[in-house]
Amino acid sequence: QKEVEQNSGPLSVPEGAIASLNCTYSDRGSQSFFWYRQYSGKSPELIMFIYSNGDKEDGRFTAQLNKASQYVSLLIRDSQPSDSATYLCAVNLGGNNRLAFGKGNQVVVIP
Amino acid sequence: SAVISQKPSRDICQRGTSLTIQCQVDSQVTMMFWYRQQPGQSLTLIATANQGSEATYESGFVIDKFPISRPNLTFSTLTVSNMSPEDSSIYLCSVFPGTYGYTFGSGTRLTVV
């Protein structure tokens, strides 16, 4: 089992709709969870982090964490064409501050 | 927030040669990491650069191929040695703590011909 899995294929959403991304992880000891956005040819940019079970909202983004089920999700509300990018889920492994990344989900927002 | 300067931004190298990538941070950071992102793939951690001691390598990566230096709390280098076309990737340094946790440099796009 991979440490961090993002299994959904490319996601196309109409402008103004909600994009939903999911991520599961294998290490029950993980404490910190991150969502990065990566535009083509650019380095990853942190958009959300979450440490506690439940929801965390920041503008149009909501991260949801369920440690019992070992999944973390990202919702993008009112999707904009500028949200078109690859979204990477990252998990802090154990207690040594190493980050493991999922393979990413490409989001395409259609005007 | 930490600002990272990574260079070179890109390079085209001959197989069998080596390239050293530099990562300079504008503030002292506890931890620095080196990642590789192969075309169309996600990020894979190469190693953790430890200040004052040898780097800690992930499975599949060895010091002879990817020697790392970390002479102080603001600087690190990654060398890609004896390059082959399979080493063509984007190499990224990351620091912790950065901005809200982990911050990435702008990356080095390496092409080996």
pLDDT tens, position by position, B6-52: 999 999 999 999 999 999 999 998 889 999 999 888 899 999 998 88
Per-residue model confidence as pLDDT tens digits over A9-59: 799 999 999 999 999 999 888 888 999 999 998 999 999 999 999 999 999
State both tokens at A63.
């991260």
Residues A65-76 have pLDDT tens digits of 999 999 999 999
Greater pLDDT, A94 or B53? B53
CA distances from B97 to A42, A80, B82 (A): 21, 30, 32
Report the alpha-carbon distance of residue B32 to residue A99 in Å, rounded. Answer: 11
Indicate yes or no: CB of A32 within 8 angstroms of CB of B44: no
Whole-number Å distance between alpha carbons of A37 and B10: 21
Rg of the Cα trace of chain B? Answer: 13
Is residue B95 within 8 Å of B4, Cβ to Cβ?
yes
The number of angstroms, rounded, from the C-alpha of B32 to the middle of its chain's C-alpha atoms is 9
- Nearest by CB to B92, which of A34, A43, A90? A43
Which residues of chain B neighbour A96 with C-beta distances below 8 Å? Answer: 48
